């Protein structure tokens, strides 16, 4: 059986710990909520429906940068 490689990263955004895990889907956990989606921005939007587009973009960039730093 093939296991899908996973990447897991946690960042702090607006005093909330946000954990994103990439397996077959992206899974985002924060503030007692979680969601899974094919794309990270979709999962973030499900977990944080009240954030503005700019705030979601900042969080997305922060998570992606942390993921890249972790892989280096």
Q: How confident is the model at residue 68 (pLDDT cuts 50, 70, 90)?
A: confident
Full-model pTM: 0.87
- Decide if pLDDT at 19 tops 60: yes
Tell me the mean pLDDT in the region 20-45: 96
Whether the pLDDT of residue 69 is over 90: the answer is no
DSSP per-residue letters across 5-70: P-EEEEEEETTEEEEEEESSSEEEEETTEEEEESSHHHHHHHH-TTS-HHHHHHHHHHHHHHHHHH
**What mean pLDDT comes out for the span 16-43?**
97
For residues 24-49, average pLDDT: 97
Domain count, the chain: 1
Residue 1 lies in a domain: no
Percent of the chain with pLDDT over 90: 82
Q: Which domain holds residue 54?
A: 7-71
């Amino acid at each position: 059986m093939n296991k899908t490689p996973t990447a897991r990263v946690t960042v702090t955004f607006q005093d909330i710990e946000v954990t994103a895990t990439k397996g077959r889907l992206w899974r985002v956990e924060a503030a007692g909520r979680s969601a899974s989606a094919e794309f990270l921005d979709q999962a973030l939007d499900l977990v944080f429906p009240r954030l503005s587009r700019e705030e979601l973009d900042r969080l997305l960039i922060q998570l992606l940068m942390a993921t890249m730093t972790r892989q280096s």
